[in-house]
Amino acid sequence: MNSSDFPVGFRFSGMASGIKETGMLDLGLIVSDSPANCAGVFTRNKVIAAPLLLTKPRVAQGKCQAILVNSGNANACTGSEGLQVAEATLELLASELQIAGDLVSVASTGVIGQLLPLAPFISGIPQLVNNLSPDQVHTVAEAMMTTDAFSKIAVATEKGNQNYRILGLAKGAGMIHPNMATMLGFVLTDAQVNTELLNYALYRAVEKSFNSITVDGDTSTNDMVLLLANGAANSAVIEPDSYEAEKFCQHLECVLLDLAKMIVRDGEGATKLVQIRVVGAENEGSARLVACSVATSSLVKTAFFGEDANWGRIIAAVGYSGVDVDPNRIDISFNQVPVAGNGLAVGADKEAEATKVLQLDEFTVTIDLHQGEAESSYYTSDLNYEYIKINADYRT
């Protein structure tokens, strides 16, 4: 992946500002050369951090030119003082870039309940602006990280009737669950797309990606995904309800799903990436409920870690999902290996084969309800000792 894969008209910068005592990168900046159309999706947590209180109404206006993100401190549950700090960082950046404050979005991630220091922004923002470059995407991706083991970047390119690129950056490893998760996502494109289509495309893609993953069942106070389209590719405008609009939606879904899978793969302590695929459901909503129930089961997730093909835990999670299922018609398989048919074990030989599947880093559990034609998927990780260790020591 190189800068030719990235949408034109965007520049990036990241640095270690001192917010993190470790000296790691903790402050990032994304700037579009011109105001971009934008859309956003935000946490549904009722406890909302200061940066979201500022960013959400700005994004609702449909324009954004700069995104300032910090890690190491969430600036959440910090009251009016925290809001004042967030406003000050926004104003500092707007002044340095010489753009309107309404065009700046701010995002934070890290420890909740600690006031975000302003000093790193006062000294850091001029450096960030001075170092802006089209090929410094990786520095922003790294500056967003908290307990992440690796940075997360994904791209897609359209070279048909249109000619544009989509770039996505995300962070997240723990407190991952729908609506949304402890994650930040920034998606950029040089396509010409109006805000109506951006909103539709983003909500659709988020439901199939970031809202279809789970690591531990927790969501946080700072979560957001922003989508910016600056039109710098100079391709034709992508009209809503067109063939090109559907292609754009599909490209966006691919980028976000790639990022979502990276988040699960990087789940705190995770050793497995598992797709829970529910088929044969009466409708998509039912399939989604069943997939979520299985994907969030601690007993299922610990069985994955133990590489135990314990399909009994899976069918039990199907049963308490809230969907009216017939247990005598349920089939379960690991990859292509059946372990249960019509709600009954298929034999020790197949379970032994399935155990080998569980030794893989990535596999699919397919649950067939035999009630209809609908299907849905969730992506989950295993749950192990390392997750407890990471979160027990998070603030120390």
Task: Indicate which residues carry an active-site annotation.
Answer: 182
Q: Which residues pair with 107 in a beta bridge?
A: 69
Query: Residue 30 in contact with residue 148, Cβ under 8 Å?
Result: no
Measured in degrees and rounded to the nearest 5, phi and psi for residue 219 equal: -125, 165
Measured in degrees and rounded to the nearest 5, phi and psi for residue 244 equal: -65, -30
Longest distance between any two alpha carbons in the chain, whole Å:
69
- Burial code of 316-335, b = ≥16 C-beta within 10 A, e = fewer? bbbeebebebeeeebbbbbb
Query: Residue 232 in contact with residue 190, Cβ under 8 Å?
Result: yes
Helix (H, G, I), strand (E, B) or coil at 162: coil
Query: Residue 7 in contact with residue 233, Cβ under 8 Å?
Result: yes
Query: Residue 188 in contact with residue 166, Cβ under 8 Å?
Result: yes
The CA angle 15-18-23, to the nearest 5 degrees, is 75
Query: Residue 163 in contact with residue 233, Cβ under 8 Å?
Result: yes
Residue 157: Cβ-neighbour burial (10 angstroms; 0-12, 13-18, 19+): middle
Query: Residue 180 in contact with residue 223, Cβ under 8 Å?
Result: yes
3-state secondary structure string across 258-327: HHHHHHHHCCCCCCCEEEEEEEEECCHHHHHHHHHHHHCCHHHHHHHHCCCCCHHHHHHHHHCCCCCCCH
**Cβ neighbours of residue 356 under 8 Å, at least 6 residues apart?**
none
The whole-angstrom separation of Cα 377 and Cα 392 is: 30
Query: Residue 41 in contact with residue 219, Cβ under 8 Å?
Result: no
The whole-angstrom separation of Cα 338 and Cα 340 is: 6
Pairing of strands 184-189, 164-171: antiparallel
